[in-house]
């Protein structure tokens, strides 16, 4: 059988649930994996014009950052200084800073400017083996500007070899011109969701369920509208307080509930029942100097899949390293190495509703990361060191 490319003499961490394979080979044809396993078991006659000798390096699935706010105008370095001087995130938000200041900068930027500002952040992630990134809107907060942000996200996938998964986060914050939160939710449900769905600009709808965000009732309206327009849902849930966001997300069959620092036992049980993925965001926990950990043991015991992501955003997680995020998940949240690696591959794919990426197995899209390491734990263990050797997207070295 003649295929497009073969990577051979590798060690393979397939992230399928099966164990690592020594003396491994991966073959791709038309952007898909056609064989992944031991060299000895490969089909006889498997050949390609392009054969890469991996010299014992490790192959993992390309990494997936399943929760980011990568596209936005400006930064909030000054707000960081204010927080260092003692102001709280909520103080700053109530005083008109916080999310709303990023909204002003995002509205003022053109689509091309948003792309240009996001590219260095994107490149930092790609340099560490990321092949898929979820990108949320949520700094436009009106129809034109939410669409501008989502189009900028899509354009990033044209300018770089990466899969972009766009999410509409219309219900992120109250825009300054809104008459009331309910009036803004009307706009999200009646105008923004239908038009974004019709234009194919997003595959899921997210919301910020929080005292400084939207109430569970308002989120329920947003999720109902999303369902009517064929979009999946996910939720910023229980980050700063427990509004039973995890249970709400699960009730709507959410792909994921994210953050979860204050999630209750009922919330965990509801997620387990609904198959909702827990997306842990240790970067936000770190930058906010939180002390309340998500209920990791309970999530584990209930069998809720754990994903981890950067939450890259200008306010609470200005983080563009998924390797550092894995280290934080291990050090701060005590995830095992295996949980960290599944959290940025197979479980991250699941949090995005994708069954075609996140593992190295026949039929999967051929997105790979090849690493100069002796054992997978090295990807979690170091901080500020990048052992990426090569990144492959849809079967092509990127």
Rule CB under 5 A: which residues touch Fe ion? 311
Pick 114 or 272: Cβ nearer ligand DI6 = 114
Cβ atoms of 26 and 53 within 8 Å: the answer is no
- The least distance separating ligand DI6 from the CB of residue 193, rounded to whole angstroms, comes to 18
67 binds ligand DI6 (CB under 6 A): no
Selection from ligand DI6, Fe ion, none that 347 binds (CB < 5 to 8 A by kind) is none
> Which of these, 129, 154, 141, lies nearest to 393 by C-alpha position?
129
Cβ atoms of 320 and 65 within 8 Å: the answer is no
Selection from Fe ion, ligand DI6, none that 154 binds (CB < 5 to 8 A by kind) is none
- The least distance separating ligand DI6 from the CB of residue 330, rounded to whole angstroms, comes to 21
> Which of these, 257, 288, 269, 272, lies nearest to 67 by C-alpha position?
257
| Crossing angle of helices 143-159 and 111-126, rounded to 10° | 50
Pick 60 or 102: Cβ nearer ligand DI6 = 102
Which one of the spans 37-45, 97-105, 223-231, 354-362 is the region binding ligand DI6 (CB under 6 A)?
97-105
> Which of these, 28, 23, 53, lies nearest to 41 by C-alpha position?
23
- The least distance separating Fe ion from the CB of residue 310, rounded to whole angstroms, comes to 9
Q: Which of residues 231-270 bind ligand DI6 (CB under 6 A)?
A: 236, 239
146 binds ligand DI6 (CB under 6 A): no
Cβ atoms of 198 and 125 within 8 Å: the answer is no
Q: Which of residues 186-215 bind ligand DI6 (CB under 6 A)?
A: 208
Cβ atoms of 142 and 187 within 8 Å: the answer is yes
> Which of these, 337, 332, 359, lies nearest to 348 by C-alpha position?
359
Q: For strand 47-53 and strand 32-38, is the pairing parallel, antiparallel, or unpaired? A: unpaired
8 binds ligand DI6 (CB under 6 A): no
Pick 37 or 213: Cβ nearer ligand DI6 = 213
Selection from ligand DI6, Fe ion, none that 316 binds (CB < 5 to 8 A by kind) is ligand DI6
Give the dihedral sign, CA 264/265/266/270.
positive
Cβ atoms of 323 and 128 within 8 Å: the answer is yes
Cβ atoms of 129 and 388 within 8 Å: the answer is yes
- The least distance separating Fe ion from the CB of residue 318, rounded to whole angstroms, comes to 12
Q: Among 28, 68, 102, 117, which residue interacts with ligand DI6 (rule: CB under 6 A)?
A: 102
Selection from Fe ion, ligand DI6, none that 99 binds (CB < 5 to 8 A by kind) is ligand DI6
Selection from Fe ion, ligand DI6, none that 314 binds (CB < 5 to 8 A by kind) is ligand DI6
* Segment holding 182, helix H or strand E: helix 181-187
Pick 310 or 364: Cβ nearer Fe ion = 310
The secondary structure of 103-116 as a DSSP string is HHHHHHS-HHHHHH
- The least distance separating ligand DI6 from the CB of residue 246, rounded to whole angstroms, comes to 15
Name the burial class of residue 339, with classes exposed (0-12), middle (13-18) and buried (19+) by CB atoms within 10 angstroms of its CB.
buried
Q: Which of residues 155-174 bind ligand DI6 (CB under 6 A)?
A: 172
315 binds ligand DI6 (CB under 6 A): yes
Pick 155 or 206: Cβ nearer ligand DI6 = 206
Q: Which of residues 294-313 bind ligand DI6 (CB under 6 A)?
A: 311, 313
Q: Compute CA distances 30 → 4, 47, 177, 267, 319, whole Å.
A: 7, 14, 49, 42, 34
The SS3 assignment for 286 reads helix
Pick 79 or 311: Cβ nearer Fe ion = 311
- The least distance separating ligand DI6 from the CB of residue 91, rounded to whole angstroms, comes to 13
Cβ atoms of 209 and 237 within 8 Å: the answer is yes
142 binds ligand DI6 (CB under 6 A): no
Q: Which of residues 267-286 bind ligand DI6 (CB under 6 A)?
A: 284
Which residues sit at the interface with ligand DI6, rule CB under 6 A? 98-99, 102, 172, 208, 236, 239, 284, 311, 313-316
């Amino acid at each position: 059988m003649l295929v497009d490319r073969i990577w051979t003499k590798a060690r393979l961490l397939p992230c399928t649930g099966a164990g690592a394979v020594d003396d491994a080979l991966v073959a791709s044809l038309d952007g898909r994996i056609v064989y992944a396993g031991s060299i000895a078991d490969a089909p006889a006659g498997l050949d390609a014009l392009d054969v890469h000798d991996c010299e014992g390096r490790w192959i993992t699935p390309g990494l997936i950052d399943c929760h980011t706010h990568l596209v936005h105008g400006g930064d909030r370095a000054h707000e960081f200084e204010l927080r260092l001087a003692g102001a709280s995130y909520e103080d700053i938000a109530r005083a008109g800073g916080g999310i709303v200041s990023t909204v002003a900068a995002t509205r003022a930027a053109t689509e091309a400017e948003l792309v240009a500002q996001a590219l260095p952040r994107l490149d930092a992630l790609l340099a560490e083996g990321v092949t898929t990134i979820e990108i949320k809107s949520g700094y436009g907060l009106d129809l034109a500007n939410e669409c501008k942000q989502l189009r900028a996200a899509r354009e990033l996938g044209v300018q770089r070899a990466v899969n972009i998964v766009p999410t509409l986060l219309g219900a992120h914050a109250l825009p300054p011109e809104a008459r009331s939160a309910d009036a803004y939710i009307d706009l999200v449900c009646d105008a923004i969701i239908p038009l974004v769905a019709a234009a194919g600009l997003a595959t899921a709808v997210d919301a910020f369920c929080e005292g400084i965000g939207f109430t569970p009732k308002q989120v329920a309206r947003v999720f109902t509208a999303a369902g009517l327009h064929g979009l999946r849902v996910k939720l910023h849930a229980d980050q700063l307080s427990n509004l039973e966001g995890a249970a709400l997300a699960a009730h709507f069959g959410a792909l994921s509930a994210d953050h979860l620092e204050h999630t209750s036992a009922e919330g965990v049980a509801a997620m387990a029942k609904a198959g909702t993925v827990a997306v842990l965001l240790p970067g936000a926990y770190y930058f906010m100097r939180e002390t309340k950990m998500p209920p990791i043991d309970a999530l584990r015991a209930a069998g809720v899949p754990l994903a981890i992501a950067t939450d890259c955003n200008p306010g609470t997680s200005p983080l563009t390293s998924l390797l550092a995020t894995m280290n934080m998940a291990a050090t701060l949240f005590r995830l095992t190495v295996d949980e960290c690696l599944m959290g940025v591959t197979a479980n991250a794919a699941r949090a995005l509703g994708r069954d075609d990426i996140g593992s190295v197995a026949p039929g999967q899209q051929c997105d790979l990361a090849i690493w100069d390491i002796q054992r997978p734990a090295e990807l979690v263990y170091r901080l500020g060191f990048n052992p990426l050797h090569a990144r492959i997207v849809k079967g092509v070295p990127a």
